[in-house]
Structure 1
């Protein structure tokens, strides 16, 4: 992933403690060994205080990232590990902490919603409002495994669900996702989202030399290609 250009990662999701403490800490160790900044899960409270929020700097722009999950599938978090859960008081406190760092933008990555539902539910909309009212500029969601609406209103941008970037779920609409692009421009002391866009993607799973391969393709690259459309129909 680092070779592909991933330069930051969020780790709070419903599977982050599937392998209990050993798995959570190994994930952190691997990311640290690759020098990939991360936030969302932490070895201990001191780690949480240092890396929550996570600060990213690029071309004079400073971004604060916060990350939450709705739960961990009923698996308790082993002490002293810390997982950022989607709780209103925690969210508000973290946003206030982020503001003190004087970032140009605050972005929240949230693992929320109901699987396979193409519309955001009441809880997602409620928490999006909490983020908006407390000063978060961008909210990006995951977990439902399908794409959900993207909205922009009053300088607040929300992607309720990115869908599946790569997976073995082969039936539509679970066999694809969306990549979102935000361009930030800083003029003086003000930073704005100067451009935004999205790219629909599909997971292509051809058999090559007897082995099933996984390829993430932009929809625009194949939507007029009968070969790929036939493959999509067969997989569905």
Structure 2
């Protein structure tokens, strides 16, 4: 059984059809910010993308060259693998209806190529509610598929709560975990990281980064409990947090020297193919981290780069906001102004 409250389940469809701007919008940071008065001489660039799924795509997406160039400028790209990677879905009916996710290894490889993502520069989290949609065998197949593709995975319980990744001169610890599950707890236990308790987390990294699957879906502003967890993580030494699960873009918050991007929306559509437009806004969160002596591991600057997933016949087109047609661009910019101060 899943662990969603009844009120959450009842609100899913209304919020999917009309993503909410309700909630506490106070205390958030601008879409872009500089944290160091003197820019560092050397930096490492991390780019965070949202959920990746094949639900809204029968073939690889078309990608705006500006987005492709942005991703190509990063030393490491981190995203959430929202769909199990399997040859044949075992949950056939649920997969057809879209309640159970699945994508083929070929689709994933072609989608990554279409957006210019090199496998050796990619890290994908498997700590999410859909990772067991195709059962235990599908989970095992997903882990094996990412290994074959040369893509590093995070969020696996067997690897411990924090996975080290060397990015140039930077030692980053990634802690991916999910607060939500779509199956019984005993299926997730021992396979997927579900804990946010820092007591057992190893330290000694230049930068500790959390990648949580948290909050409620289709709400632009995070709930009070989500913000409290962010403050707790920041207080325990986590310097960067990039969240998933809301499927809509959410604001940025600065908690001391910690930067939090609460939700990046979807990178490739994870709900229904004909999703209403506010849910089609996603973001690429780019963070520059100093590797200079004296400021090694300190976040120098960040910027949220919003984009929109437009619908083609059987796939999506990823378009930067600046390249949208005037009517759509106006609607998107008004929504972004409501989210980001």
Per chain length, whose mean CA-contact separation is higher, i.e. which structure has more relative contact order (CA < 8 Å, sep 6+)?
2
How far the C-alpha of 1:79 sits from its partner, in A, is: 8.0
Offset at residue 5 of structure 1 (A): 2.6
CA distance in 2, matches of 1:104, 1:20: 37
Q: 1:24 is matched with which residue?
A: 139
Indicate how the Cα distance of structure 1 residues 229 and 71 shifts in structure 2: closer, same or farther if over 3 A, else same: closer
Q: 1:8-47 alignment to 2 at 5 Å?
A: 8-42=123-157, 47=158
Q: Which residue in 1 is equivalent to 2:221? A: 119
- 1:218-229 to structure 2, matched below 5 A, reads 218-222=320-324, 225-226=325-326
Task: Tell me, in whole angstroms, the C-alpha distance in 2 between the residues paired with 1:214 and 1:160.
Answer: 24
What RMSD over aligned residues (CA atoms) do the two structures have, in Å? 2.3
1:125 aligns to what SS in structure 2?
Answer: helix
Partner Cα separation in structure 1 for residue 320 and residue 298 of structure 2: 27
Greater CA drift, 159-168 or 187-196: 187-196
Q: How many residues align?
A: 212
Q: Which aligned pairs between 1:21-100 and structure 2 lie closer than 5 A?
A: 21-42=136-157, 47-49=158-160, 52-78=161-187, 81-87=190-196, 91-95=197-201, 97=202, 99=203
Matches within 5 A, 1:127-138: 127-138=229-240
In the TM superposition, residue 59 of structure 1 has moved relative to its aligned partner by: 2.0
Structure 2 equivalent of residue 155 of structure 1? 257
C-alpha distance in 2, partners of 1:185/1:73? 39
Q: Classify the secondary structure of the residue corresponding to 1:66.
A: strand
Secondary structure at 1:173's aligned position in 2?
helix
Matches of 2:189 and 2:263, distance apart in 1:
31
Q: Is 2:300 the partner of 1:194?
A: yes
Gaps in structure 2 of 5+ consecutive residues: 1-108, 333-341
The 5 A counterparts of 1:144-183 are 144-167=246-269, 168=273, 170-183=275-288
- Matching residue of 2:77: none
Distance 1:116 1:80 in 2: 27
Superposed displacement of residue 170, structure 1: 2.1
- Unaligned runs of at least 5 residues, structure 1: none
**1:183–1:169 CA distance, 2 compared to 1 (3 A):** farther
Structure 2 SS opposite 1:21: helix
What TM-score, normalized by structure 1, do the two folds share? 0.81
Structure 2 length as normaliser, TM-score?
0.58
- Aligned partners of 2:134, 2:186: CA distance in 1, in Å? 10
Q: Tell me, what secondary structure is at the counterpart of 1:132?
A: helix
Distance in 2 separating the partners of 1:35 and 1:139: 24
1:172–1:205: structure 2 CA closer, same or farther, 3 Å change rule?
closer
- Asked whether the equivalents of residues 40 and 83 of structure 1 are also in contact (C-alpha less than 8 Å), the reply is yes
Tell me the distance in 2 between the aligned counterparts of 1:71 and 1:80: 12
3-state DSSP of counterpart to 1:187: coil
- 1:35–1:120 CA distance, 2 compared to 1 (3 A): same
> Tell me, what secondary structure is at the counterpart of 2:301?
strand
How far is the alpha carbon of 1:18 from its aligned partner? 1.4
